[in-house]
């Protein structure tokens, strides 16, 4: 492979990871923007998606089935978390909610280790998605392009729902003014619960498609939650376009970081996060409080 | 912090018990008590921010680990004495505390949690990658130097002597931390937790005060880190990673941040239980996580909070009132 | 022109929030020992005006000086240390601390004991004596051990004022001290204010005209962010401009 073609390939790598990250981050951002809850357990929900997918695949052998059933299961868990746990601690404030979701992340990781073991699991991708495709003079793994395709399809749907439908407009309005929406007679607790469900399902879907690519292992929640926090902070707390921009930035930063400054690659995103918090605390596209 | 019925008697009894403990328990158990004491200092330093200051940090391991590295590197390369090495560990923690504190104490709530986490990761990644200084994941091993007092040389390699050394440092540190809560700055910390804006409107410079408290918390975390490294004669990235940062949060929360000794209870309980139960119950961590969630849901002031409210009810009953 | 005797001097003050002018060319003076009431309809900018003086907000334009020294744009704690103390319209105390501790924190600040490590606070006899004095003054000495957040509303309002008083300011600013109080509570708090602020300059925002007339020797009417009229109570109550803007509803009756 010549030096010139490595640039577009690294770019694609970064794009694929960035988009996968956004798939998880979108739910986290909406939940944060609307409810002020920073969901520490969001990475754990993503991990559950990957593990559910592994088990469903072993029982049925149908990868496509995983893509439907696993996100639904994770979404249901998200709803249960909001309804029966988070709502109880709401009166104690946001730091307390953060503590609760931190405890949930901790326990989900331990349960995953208990049920599926500490070892990384191999998840087989369908035959039609393995191998590589040649285009524009480069060769690229089909499965990664599939991740990209699914992610972009999900955003398209998400953006249409959020900005073109009545329900979506309520949600985006609630991101900045939840008390106002409450006053309009909309059942805010129900919206929150559904938001947790949808956010969880998106994270679960990301787990299903990300599992074979990023290796299904009990550490995957801890790895992605750090990246997610960076995305939420850099993009702007609660800003969906900000999360998209930040996911893209983090993906490319990691991809090219490993290429150019391998020693510093992991540190780059924390530097970026710290700088953003110090210079522009509301984030790149966040609104000033 | 609730006004506790503090009397010297239980404190003196505990110190007396700790003094004669080596006669009572095995060397293995003695080592466990050393671990408890070190984590007690760490958890109490964390509680200056969490329970007393109302700030939720996910990055307190940075100061613990930085202190540990400073202690080890200076003792190893400059043949410092152990007390000096541990003091330097504390000063290193304070230095890092003031450096990061300049930025983090501007934040509140979730932003504070995130920024402390970012700085913790930054310092963790540095420790992992700067192998020439830190040894990366392999860490640095060193020998605990003996203590020279005048003409005497005390062999700190012997568990008994080392135990008394840690006990002395722990008593001094806990004494200082206790005293600090009674000084004007300690009281101001509570005021800022309750209503930071009002504190500034009655003439307190809350930013500078928060920074000073953050620095002091860094100092005691650094001392704990230096002690921990000297105990294991080794320092590695697990001293500074996110798990260490969340461990101290769990200890403090489970013990209860609302009382002074709550974090000590949490540190001792988790250390003990992890040691005792991890061999019996295969998945003890699930139980620990479950306990944490139950406390978050039903007893936000932790075990010591449960004790206080039980005692309150008991008092009411004794006085013949209806228990609430 | 002699400026002697003037404590607070505000000239041509402006404040806009994203282009909305809330304070619009406001000029006002407070003399030493003056009892000055600020009245005006809701949304006239009275609380914003207080927030500008005490450093919660920075003015867009104009000057604020206290004892001849400019204070606009200073941090709240520095303004307080120069001798201005305020209370808040929405009760703003330390709810999880004892009543005693609420007042004592202000006493410590007044005495400049902030970062001293030499003594425990409970061992500072003078601090504790002065705290008790203030508690007696506001009538909360028997409840000193209770958590501030557990007091009833009237007592919390008294504590709110007590915290502001305890820093022993040259000028005390009270933002609607009687808001939400019953008639008896109002009477008690007004006599308490009168008793405790003797000799100090008082700047008070108040809607209850009985309270205003019993406490103030000067009244300024703020309307649309500027001073509509300023003068002794009898002059103000007969000012046609004021009647139209503020007491306008009287005409309808």
Q: What is the CATH number of the domain that holds C140?
A: 3.40.50.300
* CB-based contact A274 B115, cutoff 8 Å: yes
* CB-based contact B3 C93, cutoff 8 Å: no
pLDDT in tens, B11-43: 889 999 999 998 898 888 899 999 999 999 999
pLDDT at C1 over 60: no
Q: What pTM did the predictor assign?
A: 0.91
Could you write out the DSSP letters of every residue in chain C?
---TTEEEEEEEEEEEETTEEEEEEEEEEEETT-EEEEE--TTSSHHHHHHHHTTSS--SEEEEEETTEE-TT--HHHHHHHTEEE--SS----TTSBHHHHHHHHHHHHTT-SS--SS-GGG-HHHHHHHHHHHHHTT-GGGTTSBGGGS-HHHHHHHHHHHHHHT--SEEEEE-TTTT--HHHHHHHHHHHHHHTTTSEEEEE-S-HHHHHHH-SEEEEEETTEEEEEE-HHHHHH-HHHHHHTSTHHHH-
* CB-based contact A98 B110, cutoff 8 Å: yes
What pLDDT, on the 0 to 100 scale, is given for residue B131?
A: 86
What pLDDT, on the 0 to 100 scale, is given for residue B184?
A: 96
What pLDDT, on the 0 to 100 scale, is given for residue A271?
A: 83
pLDDT in tens, B68-120: 999 999 998 998 889 999 999 999 999 999 999 999 999 888 889 988 998 99
Q: What is the CATH number of domain A3-279?
A: 1.10.3470
Torsion of CA B49, B53, B56, B61, to 10 degrees: 0
pLDDT in tens, B176-229: 999 999 999 999 999 999 999 999 999 999 999 999 999 999 999 999 999 999
Instruction: Mark whether B and C touch (3+ CB pairs within 8 Å).
Output: yes
State the best of B293, B300, B302, B305 to mutate against chain A, taking most chain A CBs within 10 Å: B293
Chain A partners of B122 at a C-beta cutoff of 8 Å? 267, 270-271, 274
* CB-based contact C101 B187, cutoff 8 Å: yes
pLDDT at A282 over 70: yes
C86 in contact with B, Cβ within 8 Å: yes
Contact between C128 and C83 under an 8 Å Cβ cutoff? The reply is: no
Contact between B277 and B54 under an 8 Å Cβ cutoff? The reply is: no
From B3, B179, B191, residue closest to C94, measured CB to CB = B191
What pLDDT, on the 0 to 100 scale, is given for residue B284?
A: 79
Which chains form contacts with chain C, at 3 or more CB pairs under 8 Å? B
User: Rounded to whole angstroms, how far apart are CA atoms C196 and C205?
Assistant: 17
What pLDDT, on the 0 to 100 scale, is given for residue A107?
A: 93
In a domain, C49, yes or no: yes
The residue with tokens 């920075």 is C58
State the best of C80, C83, C117, C175 to mutate against chain B, taking most chain B CBs within 10 Å: C117
- Share above pLDDT 70 across residues of chain B, in percent, rounded to a whole number: 95
Chain B partners of C171 at a C-beta cutoff of 8 Å? none
Structure tokens at C114: 């902030």
* CB-based contact C94 B194, cutoff 8 Å: yes
**Averaged over C2-14, what is the pLDDT?**
84
Highest mean pLDDT among A150-164, B184-198, C184-198: B184-198
pLDDT in tens, A7-62: 888 888 889 999 999 999 988 988 888 778 889 999 999 999 999 999 998 898 88
Domain chopping of chain B, boundaries: 10-242
Q: Indicate the number of domains in chain C.
A: 1
pLDDT at A172 over 80: no
User: Rounded to whole angstroms, how far apart are CA atoms A58 and A56?
Assistant: 5
- A216: which DSSP letter? B
pLDDT bin (cut points 50, 70, 90) of residue B6 is low
pLDDT bin (cut points 50, 70, 90) of residue B251 is very high
Instruction: Measure CA B301 to chain center.
Output: 17
Domain chopping of chain A, boundaries: 3-279
Chain B partners of A36 at a C-beta cutoff of 8 Å? 110
pLDDT at B137 over 80: yes
Mean pLDDT (chain A) is 85
The residue with tokens 């006599």 is C191
- Helices A94-116 and B109-129 pack at an angle, to 10 degrees, of 50
Range of the domain at C66: 6-252
In chain C, the residue whose alpha carbon lies closest to the alpha carbon of B187 is C105
What pLDDT, on the 0 to 100 scale, is given for residue B316?
A: 82
* Phi, psi of C227, rounded to the nearest 5 degrees: -80, 115
Instruction: Mark whether C and A touch (3+ CB pairs within 8 Å).
Output: no
In a domain, C79, yes or no: yes
* CB-based contact B184 C116, cutoff 8 Å: yes
pLDDT at B313 over 60: yes
Q: Which residues have C-beta within 8 Å of that of residue C240, sequence separation ≥ 6? A: none
In chain B, the residue whose alpha carbon lies closest to the alpha carbon of C105 is B188
In chain C, the residue whose alpha carbon lies closest to the alpha carbon of B182 is C120
From C92, C104, C109, residue closest to B203, measured CB to CB = C109
């Amino acid at each position: 492979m010549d030096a010139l073609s490595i640039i577009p390939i690294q770019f694609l790598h970064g794009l694929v990871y960035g988009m996968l990250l956004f798939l998880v981050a979108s739910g986290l951002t909406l939940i944060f923007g609307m409810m002020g809850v920073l969901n520490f357990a969001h990475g754990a929900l993503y991990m559950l998606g990957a593990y559910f997918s592994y088990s469903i695949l072993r029982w049925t052998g149908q990868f496509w089935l995983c893509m439907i059933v696993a996100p639904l299961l994770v979404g249901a868990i998200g709803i249960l978390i909001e309804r029966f746990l988070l709502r109880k601690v709401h009166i104690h404030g946001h730091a307390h909610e953060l503590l609760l979701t931190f405890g949930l992340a901790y326990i989900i990781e331990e349960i995953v280790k208990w049920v599926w073991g500490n070892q990384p699991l191999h998840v087989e991708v369908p035959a039609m998605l393995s191998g590589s495709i040649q285009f524009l003079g480069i060769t690229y793994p089909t499965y990664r392009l599939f991740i990209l395709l699914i992610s972009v399809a999900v955003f398209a749907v998400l953006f249409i729902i959020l900005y073109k439908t009545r329900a979506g407009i309520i949600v985006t309005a609630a991101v900045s003014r939840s008390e106002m929406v409450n006053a309009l007679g909309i059942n805010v607790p129900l919206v929150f619960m559904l938001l947790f469900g949808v956010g969880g399902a998106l994270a679960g879907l990301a787990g299903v498609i990300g599992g074979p690519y990023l290796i299904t292992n009990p550490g995957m929640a801890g790895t992605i939650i750090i990246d997610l926090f960076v995305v939420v902070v850099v993009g702007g707390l609660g800003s969906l376009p900000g999360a998209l921009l930040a996911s893209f930035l983090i993906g490319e930063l990691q991809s090219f970081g490993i290429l150019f400054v391998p020693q510093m690659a992991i540190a780059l995103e924390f530097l970026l996060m710290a700088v953003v918090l110090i210079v522009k605390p509301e984030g790149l596209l966040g609104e000033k409080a | 912090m609730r006004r506790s019925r503090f009397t010297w008697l239980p404190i003196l009894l505990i110190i007396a018990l700790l003094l004669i403990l080596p006669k009572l328990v095995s060397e293995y158990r003695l080592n466990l008590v050393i671990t408890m004491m070190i984590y007690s200092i760490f958890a109490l330093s964390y509680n200056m921010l969490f329970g007393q200051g109302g700030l939720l940090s996910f990055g307190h391991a940075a100061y613990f680990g930085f202190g540990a590295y400073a202690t080890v590197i200076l003792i190893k390369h400059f043949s410092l004495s152990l007390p000096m090495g541990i003091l330097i560990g504390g000063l290193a923690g304070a230095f890092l505390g003031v450096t990061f504190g300049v930025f983090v104490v501007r934040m509140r709530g979730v932003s504070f949690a995130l920024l402390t986490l970012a700085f913790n990761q930054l310092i963790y990644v540095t420790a992992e990658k700067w192998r020439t200084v830190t040894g990366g994941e392999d860490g640095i091993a060193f020998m605990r130097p003996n203590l020279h007092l005048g003409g005497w040389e005390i062999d700190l390699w012997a568990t008994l002597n080392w135990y008394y050394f840690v006990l002395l440092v722990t008593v001094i540190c806990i004494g200082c931390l206790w005293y600090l809560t009674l000084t004007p700055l300690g009281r101001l910390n509570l005021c800022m937790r309750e209503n930071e804006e009002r504190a500034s409107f009655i003439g307190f410079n809350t930013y500078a005060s928060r920074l000073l408290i953050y620095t002091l918390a860094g100092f005691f975390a650094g001392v704990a880190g230096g002690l921990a490294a000297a105990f294991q004669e080794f320092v590695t990235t697990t001293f500074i990673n996110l798990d260490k940062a969340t461990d101290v949060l769990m200890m403090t929360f489970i013990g209860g941040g609302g009382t002074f000794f709550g974090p000590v209870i949490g540190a001792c309980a988790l250390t003990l239980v992890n040691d005792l139960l991890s061999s019996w119950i295969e998945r003890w961590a699930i139980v620990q996580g479950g306990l944490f969630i139950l406390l978050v849901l039903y007893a936000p002031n932790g075990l010591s909070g449960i004790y206080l409210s039980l005692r309150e009810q008991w008092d009411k009953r004794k006085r013949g009132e209806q228990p609430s | 022109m002699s400026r002697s005797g003037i404590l607070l001097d505000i000239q041509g003050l402006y404040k806009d929030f994203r282009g909305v002018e809330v304070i619009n060319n406001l000029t006002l003076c407070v003399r030493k020992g003056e009892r000055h009431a600020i009245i005006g309809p809701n949304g006239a900018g009275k609380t914003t005006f207080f927030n500008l003086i005490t450093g919660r907000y920075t003015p867009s334009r104009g000057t604020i000086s206290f004892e001849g020294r400019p204070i606009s744009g200073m941090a709240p704690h520095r303004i307080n240390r120069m001798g201005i103390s305020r209370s808040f319209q929405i009760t703003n105390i330390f709810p999880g601390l004892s009543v005693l501790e609420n007042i004592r924190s202000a006493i410590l600040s007044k005495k400049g004991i902030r970062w001293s490590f030499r003594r425990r606070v409970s061992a500072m006899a003078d601090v504790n004596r002065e705290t008790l004095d203030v508690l007696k003054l506001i009538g909360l000495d028997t409840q000193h051990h209770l958590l501030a957040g557990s007091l009833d509303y009237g007592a919390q309002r008294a504590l709110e004022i007590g915290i502001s008083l305890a820093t022993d300011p040259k000028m005390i600013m009270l933002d609607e001290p009687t808001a939400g109080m019953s008639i008896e509570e109002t009477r008690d708090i007004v006599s308490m204010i009168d008793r405790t602020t003797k000799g100090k300059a008082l700047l008070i925002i108040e809607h209850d005209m009985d309270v205003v007339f019993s406490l103030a020797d000067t009244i300024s009417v703020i309307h649309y962010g500027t001073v509509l009229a300023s003068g002794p109570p009898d002059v103000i109550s007969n000012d046609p401009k004021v009647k139209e803007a503020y007491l306008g509803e009287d005409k309808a009756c």
